[in-house]
Amino acid sequence: MKRRIFLFLFLGAFSFLFSNFSWSQVIELTYASPYAPNHPYSIADQNWIAKIEKETGGKVKIKPYWAGTLMSSRESMAELAKGAADLAFITPIYEKAGVDITKTILDFFRGTPPETNMKIYWEIFRKFPEFRKEYEKVKILGISAGYPMHLMTTKKPVTSISDFKGLRLRITGDVMMRTMKELGAEPVGMPVVEVYEALSKGIIHGVILGGTDYKAFKLAEVVKYATENFLQERGVYASRAMNLNSWAKLPPDVQKVFEANIDFWSLEGYRQLLKPEEEGKELARKNGIQFVKMVPEGLTKYAEVFDKEVVKEAKRLDEKGLPGTKILNEVKRLQKELTGK
């Protein structure tokens, strides 16, 4: 009898100690990013990692892998879903299939600031199950809204729509391609790494990029004019996510910390992007780049053509059985509601 009691107490004590030992173990997670550790996005990632580790009381430790050493950019969502990493910077627009809504709505956000567009993104995400379905294999923990890009040219300043005639411009995105063609420019597609040489040799006469690119791609050396109010607003997209199995293994209190920091991670990425943006513009001024503005009627015409092309894209989604027009209308409603315009 005494042996039974002793054995019972021993097993109970062992079970108690083991359960507490297991609970106190550090949760080690991996984070994969295609960017170098000094990139603005990576700086935001490092700030987020430090915040998560602090707010979980050291219960979570996250080891980053930079510069694509763990995952690719082209199939980041698929690789994350398969467990290539616990957490990752994802680029859904590069996925081969299954993200039609994600790719199309990037052009839906023209006219409102990035912070507002982030709020609109989550409203759309919550309202449309077809949109959420595109991310059913991962857990979204952060979104990105790029800073607006403006027109930079070498041949002449662009202050009216007529100035586009005869200009060969490096353009990305179907909507912008068609818009610039209708406005009289000759849109050219090419990787951003080829832009400097193309500008310096006169192969193209301009680009639409951000202020940070004056320094990052040495555009301050070849660009002569910048139409700073002719903007192409980048849309919002999911950019940080977690493997579902890794997410399910986290204790509820740790999951709460991750979810409470979704907005921080998203906004921190944007804040870090703005720093080199201002540095780049200052370099452009020092190099003598002339900053000009497009006349109001030119901006109005651009907006009309761009929005017409966006409506076409929404209808293409409709034809696929997806709520393209409904999402576009909801975005426009939310833009008015949140800005009062």
Question: Is 190 among the domain residues?
Answer: yes
Whether residues 264 and 189 fall in one domain: no
The answer to whether residue 18 is domain-embedded is no
Strand-pair partners of 140: 241
Shared domain for 220 and 253, answered yes or no, is no
Domain boundary among 274, 305, 322: 274
Q: Within this chain, do residues 76 and 164 fall inside the same structural domain, yes or no?
A: no
Note the pLDDT tens digit of each residue in 1-14.
445 444 444 444 44
**pLDDT at residue number 274:** 87
- In this structure, what token pair is assigned to residue 133? 């379905």
pLDDT digits (tens, 9 = 90+) for 95-120: 889 999 999 999 999 989 999 999 99
CA distances 57 to 25, 27, 246, Å, are 12, 11, 19
Range of the domain at 51: 27-146+235-274
pTM strictly above 0.75:
yes
The arithmetic mean of pLDDT across residues 51-66, rounded, is 97
pLDDT at residue number 17: 43
Please report the pLDDT score of residue 208 as a whole number. 96
Q: For residue 159, give both structure tokens.
A: 């202050």
Predicted pLDDT of residue 72: 83
Statement: residue 18 has pLDDT above 70: no
Average pLDDT of the chain to the nearest whole number: 91
- Grade residue 24 by pLDDT with cuts at 50, 70 and 90: low
**Pair (139, 286) in one structural domain:** no
Q: Find, among 113, 114, 109, 163, the residue nearest to 292 by Cα.
A: 163
The answer on 124 and 198 residing in a single domain is no
pLDDT at 216: 82
Q: CA separation (Å) from 224 to 42, 74, 156, 214, 295?
A: 31, 34, 8, 11, 19
pLDDT of residue 49: 98
pLDDT at 199 over 90: yes
The verdict on 264 and 290 lying in the same domain is no
Mean pLDDT of 23-49: 91
The predicted-structure confidence for 134-177, as pLDDT tens digits, reads as follows 999 999 999 999 778 999 999 999 999 999 999 999 998 889 99
* 252 confidence band (pLDDT: 50, 70, 90): very high
Pairing status of strand 186-188 against strand 168-170 = parallel
In a domain, 93, yes or no: yes
Residue 196 and residue 105 in one domain:
no
pLDDT at 198 over 60: yes
Residue 7 within any structural domain of the chain: no
* pLDDT of 297 above 50: yes
| Residue-level pLDDT at 81 | 97
| Whether residues 45 and 112 fall in one domain | yes
The whole-number pLDDT of residue 293 equals 98
Tally of domains in the chain: 2
Q: How far lies 22's CA from each of 26, 132, 246, in Å?
A: 9, 34, 17
53 with 169, same domain? no
What value does the mean pLDDT take over residues 198-212?
Answer: 96
Q: Quick one: 140 and 213 in the same domain?
A: no
Residue 189 pLDDT > 60, yes or no? yes
Give me the percent of the chain exceeding a pLDDT of 90: 78
Pair (95, 181) in one structural domain: no
Q: Which residue has tokens 């990692």?
A: 49
- How far apart, in whole angstroms, are the C-alpha atoms of residue 83 and residue 77? 10
Is 107 in the same domain as 178?
Answer: no
Q: What is the pLDDT of residue 65?
A: 98
Let me know: does 219 contact 226? Beta carbons within 8 Å.
no
What's 333's domain CATH number? 3.40.190.170
